[in-house]
Structure 1
Amino acid sequence: MTAELEQLGRRVKQAQYRHHRALDSRLATIGTTLTQWDALRAIAQNPGASAHALAVATFQSDQSFGTLATRLSAQNLISRQAGRGRAIEHHLTPEGERMLAAGYPLTAEVLASSFGALSEPERQTLLGLLNRVATDL
């Protein structure tokens, strides 16, 4: 049983690694990285969110997201404004919106290729299983 669980964990990690490499490669063609593009996506989905909320949404530490946000701001992809209390609100700039939009077709291609071997019902089953595992953590 333990060997099977280790193999399962390794396969999940292998698939994730392959996705990240392919996504980074494709997003490099428009001048960004997966980490940067994912941050833009999180900000677009949560305009005005704090750095902590965005760090959680992008699977980063608060410190890592803060460093990333500083880089994105220097590239004029996001704006940061004082919010309530000590919170800093994050918003996309028009350039950030363009970068995000340019990345969607690229990421869709990679994901379609990655999951192309699975039928629609198999993809739904996989999603359901991963959702179950993720909520049990």
Structure 2
Amino acid sequence: MNPNEITTTGAPSLAERLAQVLSHSVRTEAVYGTPVERNGVTVIPVARAYYGFGGGSGTNAKSEAGTGGGGGATINPVGYIEMKDGRTNFRPIRSSVVPLVAVSGLVAYMLMRSMPRMRASRRIDNANWVGDVSE
């Protein structure tokens, strides 16, 4: 008997089905990709994996039963390991979104902060206006 194989009598429960799915998908290869070697440099892709599963079951007064469950996973690249000349370095993949959001937020803050001064300046200009000077 294979120790990784789940056997049950009757239909597998929700927990058993989730365990089967996890045993096939949660592997080292999900985080560390297949190494690639070119010209004496080996590169190993690195990712961050998140898995989440949930489920439940219940019955009501009419002896009706129900079960349900679901799950999801996401795997995001975070960098790569570079092996060259006997040295190993982790090279992160930097996202350009975070600095862009930070700069956009700073610009929005500066604009909002200057709005009262711009309005006050406009009121002063309108109060000093005496009419059309181009005759």
TM range (shorter): under 0.3
Higher strand share: 2
Higher helix share: 1
Normalising by the residue count of structure 1, what TM-score does the alignment of the two structures yield?
0.19
Normalising by the residue count of structure 2, what TM-score does the alignment of the two structures yield?
0.19
